[in-house]
Amino acid sequence: MASRRRMLLKVIILGDSGVGKTSLMNQYVNRKFNNQYKATIGADFLTKEIQFEDRLFTLQIWDTAGQERFQSLGVAFYRGADCCVLVYDVNVAKSFDDLNNWREEFLIQATPSDPENFPFVVLGNKVDLDGGNNRVISEKTAMAWCVSKGNIPHFETSAKEGFNVDAAFEYTFLKILMSSTVVGLRNRLVVSVS
């Protein structure tokens, strides 16, 4: 059997309860959407294997509870993250307003070596609800916030319809590869036997 080298990349998804973090992750990894809401307790993760330029990567996507009581999950949870995906519901203003808190919580807990250049991606989820008629956060408003935080990439998504979910996570993967967090990739290679 030949041995293949793969690299583990860790992505943390943060945002208020009910914004669709679990649904986005399940749609991307499993191509599934569940209409039944079940709050995440603490944290959970799924993995997706990605082949890129003759290398195999394992994208480990950590889904977090959005409830206040779990907001501070601790340093160990955030440690080693290569990217942070911030999610809000375009129909709930508070979830957008709370992005600042989630971003700050991540930077405090993860203590990245270069916080100014750490890769974040913002997802405005649930664009499919009621044909967009209940939307309270415009794409323009979200983009302005992203620009003010250092040009954070922004995607509008629908976990239910699968709209823009692949594009958002594929961009997240590429953002990690382009970032300074993967300097020293060789030190993080994992050997697996295929």
Calpha distance 10→59 (Å, rounded) = 6
Q: How much of the chain exceeds pLDDT 90, in percent? A: 59
Is residue 157 a part of any domain in this protein?
A: yes
Is residue 20 a part of any domain in this protein?
A: yes
User: Which tokens belong to 137?
Assistant: 């956060």
Q: What confidence score (pLDDT) does residue 20 get?
A: 95
Q: What confidence score (pLDDT) does residue 52 get?
A: 86
User: 54-96: per-residue pLDDT in tens?
Assistant: 889 999 999 876 544 444 556 677 889 999 999 999 999 999 9
Is residue 89 a part of any domain in this protein?
A: yes
Alpha helices in the chain, H assignment, sequence order: 21-30, 75-78, 93-97, 99-110, 139-148, 165-178
For residue 128, what are the domain limits? Answer: 7-188
Is residue 194 a part of any domain in this protein?
A: no
Q: What confidence score (pLDDT) does residue 21 get?
A: 94
When the pLDDT of each residue in the chain is averaged and rounded to a whole number, the result is 84
Is residue 14 a part of any domain in this protein?
A: yes
Q: What confidence score (pLDDT) does residue 39 get?
A: 55
Q: For the chain, which ranges sit under pLDDT 70?
A: 1-4, 36-43, 65-75, 180-194
Is residue 174 a part of any domain in this protein?
A: yes
Is residue 69 a part of any domain in this protein?
A: yes
Any idea what the CATH number is for the domain that residue 99 is in?
3.40.50.300
Calpha distance 107→116 (Å, rounded) = 10
Q: Would you tell me how many other CB atoms lie within 10 Å of the CB of residue 34?
A: 13
Is residue 1 a part of any domain in this protein?
A: no
Q: What confidence score (pLDDT) does residue 96 get?
A: 99
- Give the total number of structural domains in the chain: 1
Q: What confidence score (pLDDT) does residue 85 get?
A: 97
Q: What confidence score (pLDDT) does residue 180 get?
A: 53
